[in-house]
Amino acid sequence: MPVLVMKFGGTSVATLDRIRRAAKRVGVEVAKGYDVIVIVSAMAGETNKLVGYVDETSPLYDAREYDAVVSSGENVTAGLMALTLQEMDVPARSWQGWQVPVKTTSAHSQARIEDIVPDNIRAKFAEGMRVAVVAGFQGVSPEGRITTLGRGGSDTTAVAFAAAFQAERCDIYTDVDGVYTTDPRICDKARKLDRIAFEEMLELASLGAKVLQTRSVELAMRYNVKLRVLSSFEEQSDTAGTLVCAEEDIMESKVVNGVAYSRDEAKMTLVSVADRPGIAAAIFGPLSEAGVNVDMIIQNISEEGRTDMTFSCPTDQVARAEKALHDAKARGEINFHDLIADTNVAKVSAVGIGMRSQSGVAARMFKTLSDEGINIKVIATSEIKISVLIDRKYMELAVQALHDAFALEKTG
Ligand code: ASP
Ligand code: MG
């Protein structure tokens, strides 16, 4: 029988009543003839509560025990979902990650899935079980210890199962009804997209549109898993939500399909560093070792052998970045006159696969911002994305103006 993966996020399993509603949706797909793999998150708020327990008990916690505690929320919902389905006469069984097994690396609290062994679940399907309820977000390390996949990791569990079982589709039930052209909370003209390409979703996810864990989109792209994001609070239908799919499955695409933003960006400038071979390596090596996620980088032209180097990173990594750079300076590896951190910036990005074949997108974006009197501090581009850093106070204005400029509210 064809397999469908259905993932229910925390708000969709927040109460026994909602678990029952979710189970009914599963029942509908079972009745259509699918064997269903249900991936569940912990009940809303539960994972945060567990993380809080760990922090309070042991601020410098052992990551293995963090995983032992934090993975437990999903165990509860998996068992409850299986029981609910059984009450509805749907043959169902729950599975924790290690029971499947979902084999992961041993990078506790941010492990990656290496392999899913489908045999146990397949054998049960063959015996007549119709639903395998799997605890999301967790797996087992080569050492046999429980691991977790990073916050939001159940999305990745779901996609990995869809790939391993060659599922027809992977439906991600959440509290929003799809992927929007931008955040509806800051732009009331935001429009729900029927389809979006993997590459675009990847940019949007990593740019702060928090609907899906980035890793899950990467996996879906690699294994060409059709991924659908939809609300568990809406009527059930085959076309609801947004389909995240390969570019070829999208008939028509605008040049820009989404405007994303990220509030917590910081801009750091090293003033007057010696411009010599190896200087970038000497700066960004220590930053990477300190775990700083550098995003945009610009190096100014140099004057008399010295230049300014500017980069952006998440605001909460500024202190770590400062320490890494001052330490490198103390070791004599780099030499700068000043280190300036600007934490009042935001990143705004226009994303669209159509950019590959159309010119003038950057010009239109810059003109739009200039018409609003918004100064651009840093620019970065990729094949399908243009990002700018601007003063944070203009962020919402910029998003709205760009949404208008690229005619994102109009359909067709
Ligand atoms: N419960 C985990 C979290 O809150 C994993 C997930 O729901 O995706 O991050
Ligand atoms: Mg989530």
- pLDDT of 139 over the 60 cut: yes
Please name the residue whose Cα sits nearest to atom 6 of ligand 1: 152
What percent of the chain has pLDDT above 90? 86
- pLDDT of 252 over the 90 cut: no
Give the pLDDT of residue 200.
94
- pLDDT of 47 over the 90 cut: yes
Q: Do 212 and 172 meet the contact criterion of CB atoms below 8 Å apart?
A: yes
Does residue 203 form part of some domain?
Answer: no
pLDDT tens for each residue of 311-370: 999 999 999 999 999 999 999 999 999 999 999 999 999 999 999 988 899 999 999 999
Report how far ligand 1's centroid is from the alpha carbon of 161 (Å).
16
Report how far ligand 1's centroid is from the alpha carbon of 347 (Å).
26
For a substitution probing ligand 1, which of 38, 138, 154, 229 has the most ligand atoms within 8 Å of its CB? Answer: 154
* Beta strands at 169-174 and 3-8: parallel, antiparallel or unpaired: parallel
Mean pLDDT of 122-145: 98
What percent of the chain has pLDDT above 70? 99
Mean pLDDT of 87-112: 97
Task: Please give the Cα distance from 180 to 189 (Å, whole number).
Answer: 10
Q: Over the range 1-37, which residues count as b (16 or more CB within 10 Å of their CB) and which as e?
A: eebbbbbbbbbbbbeeebbbbbbebbbebbeeebbbb
Please name the residue whose Cα sits nearest to atom 7 of ligand 1: 41
- pLDDT of 412 over the 60 cut: no
Q: At what angle do helices 72-87 and 46-57 cross, to 10 degrees?
A: 150
Report how far ligand 2's centroid is from the alpha carbon of 158 (Å).
11
User: Which is the closest atom of ligand 1 to the Cα of 153?
Assistant: 8
Report how far ligand 2's centroid is from the alpha carbon of 361 (Å).
32
Band (411; pLDDT cuts 50, 70, 90) = low
CB of residue 47 inside a 6 A radius of ligand 1: yes
Nearest residue to 197 via CA among 255, 118, 147, 120: 255
Give the pLDDT of residue 271.
96
User: Which is the closest atom of ligand 1 to the Cα of 48?
Assistant: 4
Task: Please give the Cα distance from 98 to 337 (Å, whole number).
Answer: 53
Are residues 171 and 278 both part of a single domain?
no
User: Does residue 412 or residue 139 have the better pLDDT?
Assistant: 139
pLDDT tens for each residue of 373-386: 999 999 999 999 99
Q: Looking at 140, 175, 210, which one is the last position of a domain? A: 175
Q: Two tokens at 241? A: 């939500």
Give the pLDDT of residue 97.
98
Give the pLDDT of residue 302.
87
Q: Looking at 128, 146, 175, which one is the last position of a domain? A: 175
φ/ψ of residue 75, rounded to 5 = -65, -40
Mean pLDDT of 5-16: 98
Are residues 283 and 396 both part of a single domain?
yes
User: Does residue 151 or residue 206 have the better pLDDT?
Assistant: 151
- Structural domain harbouring 31: 3-175
pLDDT tens for each residue of 275-306: 999 999 999 999 999 999 999 999 988 899 99
Give the pLDDT of residue 300.
87
Give the pLDDT of residue 71.
98
Does residue 109 form part of some domain?
Answer: yes
Report how far ligand 1's centroid is from the alpha carbon of 235 (Å).
24
Nearest residue to 107 via CA among 136, 64, 153, 71: 64
Give the pLDDT of residue 175.
87
Does residue 360 form part of some domain?
Answer: yes
Does residue 232 form part of some domain?
Answer: no
Q: Looking at 160, 175, 190, which one is the last position of a domain? A: 175
Does residue 245 form part of some domain?
Answer: no
> Binding-site residues, please?
7-10, 47, 74, 174-175, 180, 185, 210-211
- pLDDT of 50 over the 90 cut: yes
Task: Please give the Cα distance from 31 to 245 (Å, whole number).
Answer: 26
Q: Do 38 and 134 meet the contact criterion of CB atoms below 8 Å apart?
A: yes
Please name the residue whose Cα sits nearest to atom 9 of ligand 1: 151
- pLDDT of 176 over the 90 cut: no
pLDDT tens for each residue of 83-95: 999 999 999 999 9
Are residues 365 and 265 both part of a single domain?
yes
> Binding-site residues for substrate, please?
47, 74
Q: Do 198 and 229 meet the contact criterion of CB atoms below 8 Å apart?
A: no
Alpha helix locations (H) across 293-390?
318-330, 361-371
Share the mean pLDDT of the chain.
94
Give the pLDDT of residue 387.
95
CATH number at residue 404: 3.30.2130.10
- pLDDT of 208 over the 80 cut: no
Are residues 275 and 155 both part of a single domain?
no
Are residues 283 and 159 both part of a single domain?
no
Number of domains in the chain: 2
φ/ψ of residue 328, rounded to 5 = -65, -35
Band (239; pLDDT cuts 50, 70, 90) = confident
Residue keyed to tokens 């919902």: 77
CATH number at residue 82: 3.40.1160.10
User: Which is the closest atom of ligand 1 to the Cα of 151?
Assistant: 9
Task: Please give the Cα distance from 196 to 218 (Å, whole number).
Answer: 14
